[in-house]
Structure 1
C-alpha cells in the first residue's frame, strides 16, 4: 500500500458492508489502509434482517459498500436498513456505494402497466437517509437523474481497457452488441486504437433476442464485444455466433457486471468465445467459476477506493478519467 493512498483515520472515515460482496469491500479497505467497520448483519429466526453496529459512528463519514446483486431483495434490504441504522446513530454523512445497481433494467415505461423500478430504488435509498450515492456503470445513464441527492457515476472503462492494452492485441475490432452500446464501444475503440462494429439486435422478450446484421468489417479480425452486464447471456452469445458467421477470428467478451443468471453459464460455455473478462462488482457464484480459465475477473477495488478517498477529501472524481 502506497503511503500517498493512506487516509488518516483521525479524519473519521468508516467503511461498512452487508453480505453481498465482502471480498471486494476488503480489497477497498486494504487500498485505503483502513479497517472494515465493525457491524453484524444477520437474520432473525423468521428471516428478517438484523443489523447492529458495534462501534461509535457519531459524526463519522460513513461509506456503505453494497452491491444489490443476488439475492437482490436481501441485498437491497440490508443496504436500506444499514443506511437507517447510521442515520439514527448520528453519522455526519452517509454515502451508499453500489458497485452494482440492481433493479436498473426498468428505467422507463416502454409499455403500459409497468413500474419504473430504477426510480423506485432511488427513492428508497434517498428516503432511508443516504446523503449521496457512488455507483458504477449504470445500465442507463439517466438513472443518475432519478436521485435528488448527489450521484457519482464511475466507469469500469479504465480497468478493462488497461487489461486489453497490456495484452498487446493486434488486428482487433471493438464490437457493441447493440445500437444502445455504441457510445461506450466507441470510447474503447478510440482508447485502444481499434476499429468499431455494431451488431444490430432486436429484443423480442426478457430472454429472447433476435439478431439482425453486423455494421462494420469484422472478417478476418479478432473481436472484443463490450457490454455493461451479462445477465442471461443470450445477447452476447448470439452476437458471438453472428460475428463468427461474418468471418471473425477469436472473440473476446468483456462486461462490468457478471450477473450470470438462468442458463447464462451453459450458454457462455458453448458459445464461440475465447475469453470473458468481467469485474468484481458482483462476486462470481460457484456455477460461474466452472467456466475456469475462460472467465477472467478484474478488480475495481482501486477505482472505488480512490473515488471514496476523493469524496471524503472533497476533491474531483471526474479528473480520475481525464487520461481516458
Structure 2
C-alpha cells in the first residue's frame, strides 16, 4: 500500500491507522451545499498509487454511503492503481435476507455497488453475517476483535461469564470465552417480525456473584440488552457488562442501559465516539493483517 486516504467518516481512527502502518495519510475534502448536495474532492497526490480508503458507514448511514460512492468515483477519475477499503462498520448488514416478501437484500446491493465502483478489496470489523461478503466481487477480510475485546474485559471484570443474545451468536460467545478462559451460554430470544417485540429467556445457569458479559456485534436501541441485564441481575450477577464491536446506540439507548444498571458498555472504535462508552482499539489487529 502506498497511501491512506482518510474518508469523511474516519476522523476518530485514521491518524492511528497511519501511525500503525507507518504510511502517509491524506484527507478527503468535504462540504455540503446549501441545497443539501454533497461535494467531495480527493487530493491529486493519490493519483497512480495503491490506496487504503478508510471510511466508516456511520449514521446517518445513507449520507456516509453516498460520500463513499463519490470518493470512489473521484479515485477512478484519478486512475488509481488499486483501491483497498477499510470500512470498519458496514451499514445495512442486518438486512441480509428477505424476511418478508417485497424486501430487498440491502447488504447485497451495497457490496455489489462498491465492487462496481472499483474497490478491489474490503477490510471490515465483525460484519453481522460474514457470508454476506460473498456479494462483494473482490477479496474480503472480516476481522473479529476478540483479542482487543478480551484484553479490556480482563482489566475490568472479575470471574466473568459470557452470554450471547441468541443461539446465532453462540460461536461469538464461545470464542470470547476461550480468550478469557471462562464459561459461556446464550439467551433464548424471539422477535416478532411485524411488531419487533422481543421475548427473552435463560437456561439454568448459576450467575451468582459473577461478572456477566453480554457479547454481540452491534448494539442499536439497547432495549433487548437492557431487559436481559435486568434478568441477569435477578439471577444473582454482581455486574453486567456489554461488549460489542459496533456501538450505534440510537436514540436514548444509553439511558436504557443505565436504568438497567449495566456497569459498562465496551466497544471497538468503529463508529464516532459517544459518551457512556469505553472504547478499545482494533487498529493493531487490522494493521497486523494489512502488513501480512
TM-score, normalization: structure 1? Answer: 0.85
* C-alpha RMSD over aligned residues: 1.7
Q: Is the 8 A contact 1:17 1:66 kept in 2?
A: yes
- Of the structure 1 ranges 105-114 and 36-45, higher mean CA displacement relative to structure 2 is found in 36-45
Q: Is the 8 A contact 1:198 1:216 kept in 2?
A: no
1:264-296 CA-partner distances (Å, limit 9, x unpaired)? 122112112111111110012xxx41x3xxx31
Inter-partner Cα distance in structure 1 for 2:34 and 2:240: 48
* SS of the residue 1:37 aligns to: strand
Cα distance, 1:198 vs structure 2: 1.3
Inter-partner Cα distance in structure 2 for 1:181 and 1:131: 29
Inter-partner Cα distance in structure 1 for 2:231 and 2:104: 33
Inter-partner Cα distance in structure 1 for 2:47 and 2:278: 41
Please give the residue correspondences for 1:39-78 in structure 2 after superposition, counting only pairs within 5 Å. Answer: 39-78=28-67
Please give the residue correspondences for 1:101-116 in structure 2 after superposition, counting only pairs within 5 Å. Answer: 101-116=90-105
Count of aligned residue pairs for this structure pair:
291
Q: Is the 8 A contact 2:8 2:28 kept in 1?
A: no
Q: Is the counterpart of residue 193 in structure 1 residue 188 in structure 2?
A: no
Cα distance, 1:302 vs structure 2: 2.1
Equivalent residue for 1:180, pick from 168, 177, 181: 168
2:128 corresponds to which residue?
139
Cα distance, 1:197 vs structure 2: 1.9
Cα distance, 1:207 vs structure 2: 4.9
Classify 1:25/1:219 alpha carbon distance in 2 versus 1 (closer, same or farther; 3 Å). Answer: same
Q: Is the 8 A contact 2:44 2:78 kept in 1?
A: no
Structure 1 unaligned residues grouped into runs of 5+: 1-11, 316-324
1:247 corresponds to which residue?
236
Cα distance, 1:76 vs structure 2: 0.7
2:249 corresponds to which residue?
260
Inter-partner Cα distance in structure 1 for 2:73 and 2:214: 40
Q: Is the 8 A contact 2:4 2:18 kept in 1?
A: yes
Inter-partner Cα distance in structure 2 for 1:265 and 1:165: 23
1:277 corresponds to which residue?
266
1:229 corresponds to which residue?
218
Inter-partner Cα distance in structure 1 for 2:73 and 2:229: 45
Cα distance, 1:204 vs structure 2: 2.3
Inter-partner Cα distance in structure 2 for 1:154 and 1:99: 9
1:319 corresponds to which residue?
none
Cα distance, 1:80 vs structure 2: 1.1
Inter-partner Cα distance in structure 2 for 1:106 and 1:189: 28
Q: Is the counterpart of residue 307 in structure 1 residue 282 in structure 2?
A: no
Q: Is the counterpart of residue 296 in structure 1 residue 278 in structure 2?
A: yes
